Amino acid sequence: MNEDNQYLLEVNGLSVIYGSEDNKLKAVDGLSLQMKEGETIGVIGESGSGKSTLALAIMGLIKGGEIKGEIVYDGHDLVGLSEKELKEFRWQKVALVFQNSLEVLNPVLTIGEQIREPLQTHYDLSKKELEGRVIELLNLVGLNPEWRNHYPHNLSGGMRQRVLLAMALSCDPELLIIDEPTTALDPASKEEILQLLNKLQKRLGFAMLMISHDLGTIKELTSQVMTMYCGQVVEVGLTEKVFKDPLHPYTRGLLNSSPNLFKYKDLWGIEGEVSQGKGCAFSPRCCQSGENCNDSRPSLEYVALERMVACHKGGIEKFLEARDIKKTYRMKGKEVKAVKGVNLEIKSGEVVALVGKSGSGKSTVAHTLVGVKDFDEGEIYYRGKKVEDNWATKMIGGMQIVFQDPSSSISSRLRVLDAIKEPLDIIKWGNQEARKEKVVECLQKVQLPASKEFLDRYCHALSGGQRQRIAIARALVTEPKLLIADEITSSLDPSTQANLLRKLKALQNRAGFAMLYITHDLHLVRKIADKVCVMHGGEIVERGVSFEILENPKHGYTKKLLSNAFRSLI
């Protein structure tokens, strides 16, 4: 490697454009990337995001497309080189492991013949030397050399993947690009391939650019990750940090859609369609999109050490921040410290579960956040502004709470219409007709009838499940950005509970509001939570991403909670 250049590979402003002048498609759009020797970078994104096009562009294999920008390898710009010149880099310097072995491997050539091909192209080897190298490569990737005389269709998917890897490694490349290495493989074959890649990289020292939909693979094998959307890079960071705390809503959507990470959670895909406008391409699907998002494309900028994000709001917006909240009750001359310096953070569009046994202080925290109870010390900020006089609950797009018992929080003497409309009446929003339309809209969201007969029905005449849905509709009528749900299903039967939670989670996924879900039921937490905070004795003793807290707890109290909750399943 040229010592004057610290990067093995440097991609600057790369665009790959297909189509005519009147109908252009940018499969890759202004992408930049740097890789050092021995580094492993993962590339994630939905199908069509430009990942494979990036790989083909680096290899000089783009057919029928226009390439702009620079692809600098070891100080040499590969863009514009002839096919003959590219061959000096391809396979010897940079090699690609394709994703579909049956389409890539020639069905009429033996495995040995296909592995020999790049060797014959780049080296002047005798027949005996070629044969010896083929055997060596097959042994390297864990295949019996006897398979060299067989055809691709005689091998399993995992074995064919090993053949492609042997071909890619045949000329000892410095950079290996791997496109979906475990697609369509069974779990055992997938694990074998991942272990093999890990072992070979440690042994041979090549850098690796790994493209995969499988986020478990990315998490296991890469040190840095890059998120692509519509040909653009929207987030870059260390893999461990990105997976624990994604900064772009799209990255978070990908993580939340992955069964590899959230094994028990209900999966919700990212709503909406791709935008073709001049603004942020992700704007129509984004839970925090604003007017400026449609006007201009956000640039990829540093927001922290080794973290970059392309977002007009600097990443996922912080909705709530509670700092050092303390609350003490005084009863019969005794002091009970219910909350002891709690810090809490909730971001746009995420579900944070606050868990712990009864009496741990969960509901007290919830009630102080929305001003139902005063707190003794601390500060609460909503969207960066300090909350005083409960202004954040007296507005459209603020905070709202759904209490544990709707029978006590909503007067049974109110009709359905008045019960849901009351928050709008308090803040004097719109006229009476507009308020009624809002009520009807919210009833439809929670799948309750909006007929005159139902609107005029008194709350005491409703079932428990209906009253709880009325409570949710009442909270949603002011279009909150943060919804606090305090033990909202604890008194419901399992069927009603399941239906209610699915409706609420679907609404949350569609509307993008954040939710603080307070419960002692860890089975429910596994189904809906993005993050978990564990509360014990008035303090949060452990917090983190739900797949880590629930699968690998660190605090003794968390371990005890999980053991008690899931004992019947062990």
pLDDT tens-place string over residues 190-226: 888 889 999 999 999 999 999 998 898 999 999 999 9
What radius of gyration do the chain's Cα atoms show? 28
Q: How far is CA 536 from CA 162, 327, 400, 527, in A?
A: 50, 14, 25, 22
Neighbouring residues of 104: CB distance < 8 A, sequence distance ≥ 6? 98, 164
Average of pLDDT values for 151-177?
91
Average pLDDT, the chain: 90
Domain segments of the chain: what residues?
A: 9-100+174-186+205-285, 321-569
Per-residue model confidence as pLDDT tens digits over 32-90 = 999 999 999 999 999 999 999 999 999 999 988 899 999 999 888 999 888 888 888 88
How is residue 247 written in tokens?
Answer: 């900064």
pLDDT bracket for residue 1 (50, 70, 90): very low
- Please name the helix (run of DSSP H) or strand (run of DSSP E) that holds residue 471, with its range, or none: helix 464-476
Per-residue model confidence as pLDDT tens digits over 365-408 = 999 999 999 999 999 999 999 999 999 999 999 999 998 887 77
Average of pLDDT values for 256-266?
84
- Return the beta strands (E) in 375-418 as ranges: 377-382, 385-386, 399-402
- The pLDDT, as a whole number, for residue 4 is 52
Rounded to an integer, what distance in angstroms lies between the CA atom of residue 89 and that of residue 147? 29
Rounded to an integer, what distance in angstroms lies between the CA atom of residue 180 and that of residue 190? 11
How many CB atoms are located within 10 Å of the residue 400 CB?
Answer: 22
Q: Give the global pTM.
A: 0.88
What percentage of the chain exceeds 70 in pLDDT?
Answer: 98
Q: 396 has which bridge partners?
A: none
Under a CB-based contact definition with an 8 Å cutoff, are residues 215 and 254 in contact?
Answer: yes
How is residue 443 written in tokens?
Answer: 């009833």
- The pLDDT, as a whole number, for residue 570 is 42
pLDDT bracket for residue 122 (50, 70, 90): confident
User: Which of 75-84, 339-348, 482-491 has the largest mean confidence?
Assistant: 339-348
- The pLDDT, as a whole number, for residue 266 is 77
Rounded to an integer, what distance in angstroms lies between the CA atom of residue 261 and that of residue 215? 8
pLDDT bracket for residue 566 (50, 70, 90): confident
Q: What is the dihedral of CA 427, 431, 432, 437, to 10 degrees?
A: -90
- Please name the helix (run of DSSP H) or strand (run of DSSP E) that holds residue 504, with its range, or none: helix 494-511
Q: How far is CA 50 from CA 11, 31, 95, 333, 430, in A?
A: 14, 10, 19, 67, 46
| Residue 119 predicted with pLDDT over 60 | yes
**DSSP state, 447?**
T
- The pLDDT, as a whole number, for residue 569 is 47
Phi first, then psi: give them for residue 145, nearest 5 degrees.
-55, -20
Query: In terms of residues, how long is the chain?
Result: 570
How many CB atoms are located within 10 Å of the residue 369 CB?
Answer: 26
Amino acid at 39: E
Average of pLDDT values for 451-461?
94
Using DSSP's 3-state secondary structure scheme, residue 108 falls into coil
CATH superfamily of 321-569: P-loop containing nucleotide triphosphate hydrolases (3.40.50.300)
Average of pLDDT values for 450-473?
92
Same fold for the pair 9-100+174-186+205-285 and 321-569: yes
Fold of 9-100+174-186+205-285: Rossmann fold (3.40.50)
Average of pLDDT values for 134-142?
93
Rounded to an integer, what distance in angstroms lies between the CA atom of residue 43 and that of residue 210? 6
